[in-house]
Each structure stands twice: as structure tokens, then as C-alpha cells.
Structure 1
Amino acid sequence: MTDPDAPGLPDFRRLPIPEAIRWLAENGEPADPRDDVDTASLERRFPHLRGVEADDAAVDGPHGSVPVRRYRKPGRAARTALVWVHGGGFIGGSLDMPESNWVAREIAARGIPVLAVDYTKCLGQAHFPVPSDDVLAAWDAAPQLLGLPAERLVIGGASAGGNLVTGVVARLRDGAAGAMPEGLVPVYPALHPDGAAPGGTVDPASPGGQLSLNFAGSAEALADPHAFPGLGSGAGYPPILVVVCEEDALRPSGEAFARLVRQAGGEIDVHLETGAAHGHIDHPGDAGALRTIDAIADWIRER
């Protein structure tokens, strides 16, 4: 999450999960130490992004205000749009991280408006379904914010965000109030309690197991198919594009979900990003990230 040499910041890549949760709960989301991922730097690096407009808003959710940010390229009529949710292990991430801000700007620059969504992090007393409720509230507000009906909107997200958007669609399918999206795009998603070995026993001492248990809130909730939609039915989803990365430990989760949906007769495309690792779209300009963004935009246009 951060550069280990950044002054005053721990190296979240090596920090034990309980310590990372404690630090984030006490200090909040740290500023990204990279000096070339803010919006001004992105526009200098990628001139095609300069025409994208963005504005912040908020949605009333059951647990409080949900921050959102709208992106669009003026002068281009949109037939569809994307609701996008960043990752961060359910404990971190923000609308300013490249996985949210840069990705949304790139998609919007391709003529697809984007509503980027933040959510409550699982720090302290917040656990599932709180972040899921936040995303659901933003989804319900998206047609008004984007000016398009829900049946012309696609919802997608990366990593923990991929879990949340897939879980929200499963909740809508299973009776939650709200309209279903036109499509679903989970990117390197964590759809199982143990994404590296779907169907296996979760090791509560492993980093992945600790993040899953912290998100779920209890050992019993690890079996909740709305918290981990890879455990539920594969039926009833809209068309799906799932992106998996060749060098990602969570790749088995996305691939197992694809098999689940296909076995239920659903429509799902799998985009394998060769040579890429988990989190690659949080790195602006990465060749694999640009291929993934193109794949997402092309798939959305085809809906």
C-alpha cells in the first residue's frame, strides 16, 4: 500500500494485519507517497485525461454519508455508464487512489461516465454488511447521479471492491430492493474466504484469513454467500466480465466464480491479464493495467 521508505509510514505490505488495522483506525488513510499519481500529475503524464471532468458528491446510506465522485467527458452522449468500487483489503483505499481515480478517468476518457464509490472500512466495530450497504446505497442513487436508468449501468470493482459489487448484485438477485445492473465487472476479486484456495478451510492465522474474518465479523459469517458470493449460487447474475491476473494469488477465486456461473447457465467472460499481479491497475501507465482498462471499456461498449 505504501513505500516502506516513506517517512512516518509503516510498510503495509509487511505489517501484520492486526497491526495494520490498528494503525489505520488510529491514523486514517495515509497519503500515497508516490509523487506522480495525483490528478495534476496524471493529466501531465496522460494528456487524453485532461478533458475529463470530475465532481464530488455524497449519498445517504443506512450507516451515514457515502462519498462518491462522478467522472464524465463533456460533449459526449453516453449510452451506458460504470459504477466503480476500489479495493484495499476492506481496511484501506480511497477515491484518490489510482485504482479509483486513475481508472475512472481512463474509462471516462473513453466515453463511459463513471461513478466512483467509497465505503466504510472494516476498522474497529464495522464489519459486513456495513461496506456492502454503502455500495448498495450508492448503486441505488447511481441512476439519478449518472442520468441513466439502472438497466443501462454496469457495476464493477477491484479486489475487495470486486467482492462488494458482486455481493451487492447477489443481494439484489436475492430480494434486496433495487434494480439489477446491465453487467458486472469484478477485477481480481476476493470472492471466497480463502481466495487462493476456494473451497478450502480458511486459515485464521494467514493474512488472507485475517482480512476475511475482519470483513465478515465472525467465523459464522465466513459462510455468508452475500459476504463471499463465490460460496453462493451462480444463477441469476447479469452478464459478467471477470478479470484475473496471471501472477495473482487470488486468481483461483475469480476462476472458480466463473465456473460457478457457467455451471448455472450464466454468461461470463474471463479476461486473463498475462504477466500481471494483484493490484496492477493501481499503477498508472502499467502496460497490463492499460490492457485491462481497454478490455473493461470494450466489454461495456458491447453490452
Structure 2
Amino acid sequence: MSTGSLWGTQPLEVNEVQIAGYESNIRVRLYRRAGVGSLPVMLYFHGGAFIGGSLDDAEFAARHFAEQLPVLVISVGYSLAPKHPFPAALEDAYRAARWADGASRTIGGDGKRLFAAGHCAGGNLANGLAFVARDRGDVRIGAIALFSPMLDPSMTCLADERAVDSDISPRQCLASYRAYLPKASQRMHPYAAPLDSARLAGLPPAFIATARNDVLHVEAETYAARLIGAGVPTQVMRYSNASHERIAYDPQALQDATRFFECHLQPRGVTIG
């Protein structure tokens, strides 16, 4: 039985606070069910191609996960390029994870049980956070969900824009990557360019949602194949009627991600009802 059918009966509480980021304070927005105990934490990262987007853009997906899963969702308003280039946004993500762990009792979350999800650039950050958590070892990410993630600054795996009705263009991707990764060497860093990484083993299980009408769907699916080859449990699904921007609002993609997270919540003994 899906947890969402029973979980979505209590009212949702939404609060916003500031926390210390990498270069400046950042805002985070918390979504949780009222009157429940300590919950696993899901960090959610909005889209915007590294140079735009906001907590409001993440509202739909963040609410969906908080309503459908027994989790505290923390939507992270990370720093944006070009004012704050790499690694600022990723380090903000890491600091949000550390904050969730340290503030567990105050916010009603279990910071030892962390999950991450993100759209577009936010997918890059959720994935990068999984790398950082694995390598630094002081936080653990249990599973990740990536919606039309930007994963290849080299832009060698783009779909033919003449064959897809994409709402993000290669030119826009190039400008965004150059803003976020102004140094050529940064565009090969595994935390920003996981397709170039030879160390994928040990990453958490992944759900990757791609859109047929998105020039980025090839790189995301290529990355999924490489994760599988490295022994990382990975589920990848392409949505034929979705676009790059709309996939974070696509009911089927969100529901499939919900079922994916349910599988990784259940083994730790979470019982609803």
C-alpha cells in the first residue's frame, strides 16, 4: 500500500528560516506534517540552470513530497551564479545537510536519515551532494531523485535539438555552465560533471526522470547507465509528454519518485497507520 494514501490526512506546516551558507546566509523552507514525531529529512533543490530559480519554484514538488511521504522536506535557497560560482551552491547544499543533522530536535527531523531531490541545476546539486557525502563521510544520503538534471558541462551528450521540442536550448545550457563554472578546470570536476567521474561506486540509490522534449535527456540517461554499471541501484524513466521545465510539475514523474522513496524509507522501519 502506498504511504501517501494514509499520510496525507494531517495538515501541513510550512516555515522559513535563514541558515549559514558557504559565502552568505541562505533561506530554507520547511514542510512537515503537524503533530508527528521525528521524520526523515528530504532536501529539495529548485531548478533554474544555476543562475535563476527560487524557493517558490520548488513549492509544488516540495509540497508533493511532504504530503505524500513521511518526511520533513527542506527546500534549499542556494546561492546563484554568476555572483556565486562553483562550489558555492554545492557547499550550500552540504551546509543545509549538516544543519538538518545538527538542528534535528528543533525542527522535528531525523538528520541521520537524509534524502535529496532536485530539478535541473538542483538535480546537479542533489547528485553532487551525494558525492560530497560519500567522500567526506560526515553525512549520509539514503537515496536521490533527479528531475531533468544538468550533469554534463562538456555538453557532449545533448540530444539533437531539431528532433525535440525542448524548452531549454544548448545555448542556454552553455551560458549557464559558464556562469556557474567559470574556470575550464571546474567543468571537469566530478562534483559538477559526474559523467566524467570514474568513481561512481558507493553512491546512493538513484531515481532519474527525463523528458522526451528536453535536449538534456540523453546525458541523464547516459549517467543512469553508468551508475548501473558501477553497481548503484538506479531507476530511470523517460516521460514522453514532459519538457525540461515541466517535469518537476509532472504528476506521474512525482508519483514515480514518491514510490521510489517509499522503497527506501520502508527498510528502516517507518510504518504509517
Return the TM-score normalized by structure 2: 0.81
Which position in structure 2 is the counterpart of 1:109?
Answer: 67
Alpha-carbon deviation of 1:282?
Answer: 5.2
Report the identity percentage: 25
Task: Summarize the Cα distance change of 1:266–1:177 in structure 2 as closer, same or farther, 3 Å threshold.
Answer: closer
Q: Which amino acid aligns with 1:60?
A: A
Higher relative contact order (CA 8 A, sep 6+): 2
- Superposed CA RMSD in Å reads 2.2
Deviations 1:79-110 (A, max 9, x none): 5331100010111111112xx11111121111
**Greater mean deviation of Cα atoms: 68-77 or 143-152:** 143-152
Which position in structure 1 is the counterpart of 2:77?
Answer: 118
Secondary structure of 1:271's counterpart equals strand
Structure holding more strand per residue: 2
Q: Which amino acid aligns with 2:262?
A: R
Q: Out of 148, 152, 173, which is 2:113 matched to?
A: 152
Write the distance in 2 (CA, Å) between the matches of 1:260 and 1:282: 23
Q: Out of 84, 88, 92, which is 1:130 matched to?
A: 88
Gaps of 5+ in 1: 1-47, 199-204, 284-288
Q: Out of 230, 239, 251, which is 2:195 matched to?
A: 230
Q: Out of 275, 284, 287, which is 2:241 matched to?
A: 275
Write the distance in 1 (CA, Å) between the matches of 2:150 and 2:203: 17
Q: Out of 139, 159, 165, which is 1:179 matched to?
A: 139
Q: Report if aligned partners of 1:191, 1:254 keep a CA contact under 8 Å in 2.
A: yes
**Greater mean deviation of Cα atoms: 76-85 or 229-238:** 76-85
Number of residue pairs matched by the alignment: 241
Gaps of 5+ in 2: 1-7, 159-169, 265-273
Q: Which amino acid aligns with 1:178?
A: D
Which position in structure 1 is the counterpart of 2:167?
Answer: none
Q: Report if aligned partners of 1:242, 1:254 keep a CA contact under 8 Å in 2.
A: yes
Write the distance in 1 (CA, Å) between the matches of 2:144 and 2:194: 13
Which position in structure 1 is the counterpart of 2:252?
Answer: 291
Deviations 1:134-163 (A, max 9, x none): 111001112335544444221111110000
Q: Report if aligned partners of 1:162, 1:189 keep a CA contact under 8 Å in 2.
A: yes
Which position in structure 1 is the counterpart of 2:29?
Answer: 69
Write the distance in 2 (CA, Å) between the matches of 1:76 and 1:228: 39
Which position in structure 2 is the counterpart of 1:167?
Answer: 128
